[in-house]
Amino acid sequence: MIILPAQVTEAITVLENAGHDAYIVGSCVRELIMGNSPQDYDIVTNAEINDIMFAFRDYRISDEGIKRGEILVTVVGMIISVSPYRREVIGNRVMYAQDLETDLFRRGFTMDAMAYSPREGLIDLYGGKSCLTGEEKRVVAIGENITRTVKDEKGKPVTESYYDMSRSFTTDPSRILRAIRYCAEREFVIDDATRAAMRQNVSCFEYAEADKVFKELSRIVMGKYATKVLESYADIFKHVIPEIEPCIDFDQHSRYHDFPVWTHIARSVGFAIPELPIRFAMLFHDIGKPDCCYIDSKGQGHFKGHGERSRLLAEGIMRRLDFDRRLADEISWLIYHHDAKIPEDRKGLKELIRNLGAPDLQSLLQCEIADNRAKKTEVETEDVARLRASLADLNEIIATGECYDISQLAVTKRELIDRRLVRTDKEAEELINVLFEIVLDKPSFNNKLMLIDMAEKSKQKAEELAAAREAALREKSAEKSRLDEPVFTKRKKKK
């Protein structure tokens, strides 16, 4: 039984009271059938744009999506998308339809091509519900019966019909990735005929909309089952991102790796925490390896410079797919540094925090953990344990406010000068650096009274050393003056 939120029921009622048909459609119907709570609701109607705006004249409305034929209506705090029946939406170009069936047909997959209204109930023209209610959730593309004339064995022309799913993917190539995305997020299974149609139409990616490809790819890498689909559909992904093709089945000839490059990449994406920059960094971090491979005399593979090569390839991919500039910069940085050596000692880690910044170092450590977990069959290796320990130390340093930057010292150069512990800025700078080195080794010493006490003792010690040095110079000077005195000898008597 489908139960709609009161706001959605109210929006449908407003349209019906104005003399129009109204249905919720698409993903919200799918989620309700699966027993989930949809985040967004879409309503379609036989009303035109102006009629929709007039019907909701007493509500807050937005024409933000009007180029795609959508009006956003706010009903008691919920934003609902309302649109006329549409035949096709390509970019900002909309072709409207006259009936609900045409609107449902354009949605590509049977489970997305269902409609519901409280008055008419569920409208399932393509059997979408059956794909969702069995033990195995299936992704099935909507096809159409095509009639063609062929020649039989005797050469006579005969007419035959077949069910063709190609139109679902040729009209919107991003649907190929959408089908994979369903599998990545929910572990759906793609129907055999649908999978065959996807593979037959991969060339359509040449004219796919970049923003749609980016959106679907983002959701795939963020999916719970990302590793599985990246491995299973590598032959499709290589048409979206041709740069990955050399990585597929590429043997690394390395004792540090149990898997080919693409398998390692797919595993590292799955092991990464679900943050978009980190997941994409893992997707691209080793794509430059085949270009940098060198096999030594012992048969071992080496990949010097692969971080830089992978970064350059990734930047080309990200430009092509219109990645946000800030996101692209973060991904590029992580790729370049993904195999950087992380200090094991706490002092070295704090120096790295000071150089890179805490958030960037956290992301880098997450990348290195995912990368190392994906190298061997045994995922929790000594390297992984060491990196986890470094991450724990880093998080502790940040959480406790432990000093890792000179600006965090409990005393300042100004205070040292005001207390007459130093006389010049240069002396203050030197003393602050000494105190900072002490605090890096012993964080508990970062206390104002303790640091000032050390500075006073340091000053006293410096004065004692200066006095001793001056006394030594005086003594040396005195000795030199005695040596300079003339030596008198007795003259020999003349014979």
The pLDDT, as a whole number, for residue 8 is 95
Residues in the chain: 495
User: Domain residue spans in the chain?
Assistant: 6-134, 137-240, 247-402, 406-473
CATH of 137-240, one of 1.10.110.30, 1.25.40.20, 3.40.50.2300, 3.40.190.10: 1.10.110.30
Of the candidates 243, 230, 245, 246, which has an alpha carbon nearest to the alpha carbon of residue 312?
A: 243
Q: Between residues 454 and 75, which one has the greater pLDDT?
A: 75
Q: Which residues contact 425 (CB under 8 A, 6 or more apart)?
A: 413, 417
The pLDDT, as a whole number, for residue 74 is 95
Report strand pairing: 78-84 vs 71-75.
antiparallel
With 0-12 / 13-18 / 19 or more C-beta atoms within 10 angstroms meaning exposed / middle / buried, residue 361 is: buried
**384-433 confidence digits (pLDDT tens):** 999 999 999 999 888 888 888 888 778 887 887 877 777 788 877 888 78
Q: Which residues of 302-335 are buried (b: 16+ CB within 10 A; e: fewer)?
A: ebeebbebbbebbbebbeebebeeeebebbbbbb
Strands (E), 385-482: none
What CATH class has 6-134?
alpha beta
What is the C-alpha to C-alpha distance for residues 337 and 335, in angstroms, rounded to an integer? 6
Range 425-447 average pLDDT:
81
Q: Between residues 180 and 150, which one has the greater pLDDT?
A: 180
Report CA-CA distances (Å) from 28 to 14, 15, 128.
Answer: 19, 19, 13
Question: Quick one: tokens of 443?
Answer: 């964080």
Does the pLDDT value for residue 162 go beyond 70? no
- Inter-axis angle of helices 210-221 and 174-186, to 10 degrees? 20
Q: Are 255 and 374 in contact (CB under 8 A)?
A: no
Confidence (pTM): 0.82
The pLDDT, as a whole number, for residue 440 is 81
Does the pLDDT value for residue 366 go beyond 90? yes
pLDDT band at 133; cut points 50, 70, 90: confident
